[in-house]
């Protein structure tokens, strides 16, 4: 049986929920309190008769709990599902920031328009669109969890939408060239400790990162036992708990680096991390880039050569296009090199990406020289000069080969390349559902 009584300027309704736990609700006036009382008594009678919807009762009970309590439950749930404490804490912090911005206290306060506006306000305050999308994904995942747990009858924030990060890139990265990698490794090996990391550790971290594509967090998890240098092929293994995709990853290593790694790993304590990298790895690499660039500039034999080198982006932390070379650029370096020599399937597997669009579109890079060389290698481009003007059927005005209907005429030399055109058409074909926009 529910009851009402006056407290201060308002009224209070007390009743027992479906679990026999006493609950209370505030009401602004007696009339509202009486309606709440009748509703609570009606729900109790329906449950006693076995006619009530248990999901409604569960959702109603969840509605009475503060959202912060639900968020704490959610954080524990995703950690139990295998997410790292760092990930769960970051997710909870993002959701909590939006709850504070919208002043959402109960589940019924989760309104898509309100939360979209809150993220939009963060963007206007300087947050990037990519980070804004991370906020949207975090709070949407929380909303979906509430629904799946039966704490609300629908996914309240399902309509929220993220943003196009490509429109607002804040930190574009550039890969390091072969000559740059060698000089940075040498500068690290010959240099003092930086950010508390000895030179040999930094240098070998750069070597392994650029030849395996491992991320900084994955490198921190490696021990001497992670390197399978006697295997065929030699490899480095990342445990599932340390891999970003939560799978056991076995990355092959070039045979040529095995003697260097074996010598460096000898005598290191079993089970102990071999790469105790700092949190801000960009500062570490930036120091070694500066040292390597300084040594390279000092090698100039003339003032003119020195001036040319100073104008170059070689070994610079940020190039003329605003692209950065931080620690994650070593992963870009690895993937760019793999894309140049392997098929898209192999490149995707080695990058450990869920889609080739991420491998090709975000992590591989090309420059003007490489694009020019690629165009120069087109077989029908080379045959154009051989065709010449000797086999022109008709020429009008500016010498363009046209037939009597004004259509471009291909010479026999060009027609002989039909097989290449057909093969290109096959390679460029889009098969529905294959995940490629253009092979």
Q: Answer yes or no: is pLDDT of 312 > 50.
A: yes
Q: Rounded to two decimals, what is the model's pTM? A: 0.60
CA 408/CA 402 separation, integer angstroms:
5
Average pLDDT, the chain: 81
Residue 122's contacts (CB-CB under 8 Å, 6 or more residues apart) are 101, 132, 135
Residue pLDDT, tens place only, 65-115: 999 999 999 999 999 988 888 889 999 999 999 999 999 999 999 999 999
CA 206/CA 281 separation, integer angstroms:
11
Residue 255's contacts (CB-CB under 8 Å, 6 or more residues apart) are 233, 234
Domain boundaries, the chain: 3-47, 67-168, 178-330, 379-439
Q: Greater confidence, 54 or 59?
A: 59
Residue 207's contacts (CB-CB under 8 Å, 6 or more residues apart) are 185, 257, 260, 261
Q: Answer yes or no: is pLDDT of 409 > 70.
A: no
Judged by average pLDDT, the poorest of 191-205, 214-228, 277-291, 340-354 is: 340-354
Measured in degrees and rounded to the nearest 5, phi and psi for residue 13 equal -110, 130
CA 74/CA 70 separation, integer angstroms:
6
- Which structure tokens are listed for 428? 């460029």
Residue pLDDT, tens place only, 14-56: 877 655 667 778 888 888 888 888 887 777 776 666 665 667 7
CATH class assigned to 178-330 = mainly alpha
CA 272/CA 403 separation, integer angstroms:
76
Question: What percent of the chain stands above pLDDT 70?
Answer: 79
Using CA atoms, how far residue 192 sits from 115, 156, 205, 219, 242, in Å, is: 49, 55, 15, 21, 29
Q: Answer yes or no: is pLDDT of 337 > 80.
A: yes
Determine the CATH number of domain 67-168. Answer: 1.10.150
Average pLDDT over residues 117-133: 91
Burial class (CB in 10 A: 0-12, 13-18, 19+), 334: buried
Residue pLDDT, tens place only, 262-289: 999 998 999 999 999 998 898 999 999 9
Q: Greater confidence, 130 or 135?
A: 135
Residues in the chain: 439
Looking at residue 377, what is its pLDDT?
A: 62
94-102's contacts with Cβ under 8 Å and 24+ in sequence apart are 94/134, 94/135, 94/138, 94/139, 95/71, 95/138, 95/139, 95/142, 96/68, 96/71, 97/135, 98/135, 98/139, 99/67, 99/68, 99/71
Residue pLDDT, tens place only, 346-405: 888 888 888 877 777 667 777 777 667 666 665 655 555 454 444 444 444 444 444 444
């Amino acid at each position: 049986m529910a009851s009402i009584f006056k407290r201060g300027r308002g009224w209070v309704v007390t009743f027992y929920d479906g679990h026999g736990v006493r609950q209370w609700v505030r009401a602004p006036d007696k009339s509202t309190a009486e309606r709440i009382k009748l509703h609570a008594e009606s729900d109790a009678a329906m449950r006693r008769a076995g006619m009530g919807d248990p999901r409604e009762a569960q959702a109603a009970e969840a509605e009475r709990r503060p959202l912060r309590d639900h968020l704490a439950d959610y954080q524990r749930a995703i950690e139990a599902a295998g997410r790292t404490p760092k990930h769960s804490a970051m997710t909870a912090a993002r959701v909590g920031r939006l709850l504070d911005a919208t002043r959402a206290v109960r589940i019924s306060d989760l309104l898509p328009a309100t939360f979209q506006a809150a993220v939009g306000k963060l963007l206007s305050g300087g947050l990037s669109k990519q980070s804004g999308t991370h906020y949207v994904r975090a709070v949407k995942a929380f909303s979906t969890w509430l629904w799946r747990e039966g704490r609300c009858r629908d996914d309240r924030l399902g309509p929220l939408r993220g943003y196009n990060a490509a429109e607002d890139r804040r930190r574009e990265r550039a890969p390091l060239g072969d000559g740059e990698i060698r000089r940075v490794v040498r500068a690290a090996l010959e240099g003092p400790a930086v950010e508390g990391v000895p030179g040999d550790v930094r240098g070998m971290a750069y070597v392994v990162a650029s030849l395996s594509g491992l991320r900084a967090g994955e490198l921190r998890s490696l021990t001497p036992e992670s390197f399978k240098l006697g295997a065929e092929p030699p490899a480095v293994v990342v445990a599932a708990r340390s891999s970003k995709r939560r799978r056991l990853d076995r990355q092959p290593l070039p045979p040529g680096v095995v003697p260097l790694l074996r010598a460096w790993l000898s005598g290191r304590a079993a089970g102990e991390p071999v790469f105790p990298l700092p949190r801000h790895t960009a500062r570490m690499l930036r120091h070694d880039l500066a040292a390597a660039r300084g040594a390279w500039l000092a090698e100039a034999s003339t003032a003119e050569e020195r001036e040319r080198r100073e104008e170059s982006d070689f070994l610079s932390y940020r190039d003329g296009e605003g692209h950065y070379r931080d620690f994650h650029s070593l992963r870009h370096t690895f993937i760019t090199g793999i894309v140049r020599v392997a098929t898209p399937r192999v490149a995707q597997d080695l990058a450990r990406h869920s889609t080739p669009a991420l491998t090709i579109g975000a992590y591989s890079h090309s420059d003007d020289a490489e694009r020019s060389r690629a165009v120069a290698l087109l077989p029908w481009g080379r045959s154009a000069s051989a065709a010449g003007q000797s086999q022109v059927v008709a020429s009008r005005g500016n010498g363009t080969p046209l037939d009597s209907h004004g259509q471009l005429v291909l010479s026999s030399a060009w027609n002989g390349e039909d097989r290449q055109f057909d093969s290109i058409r096959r390679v460029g074909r889009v098969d529905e559902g294959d995940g490629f926009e253009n092979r």
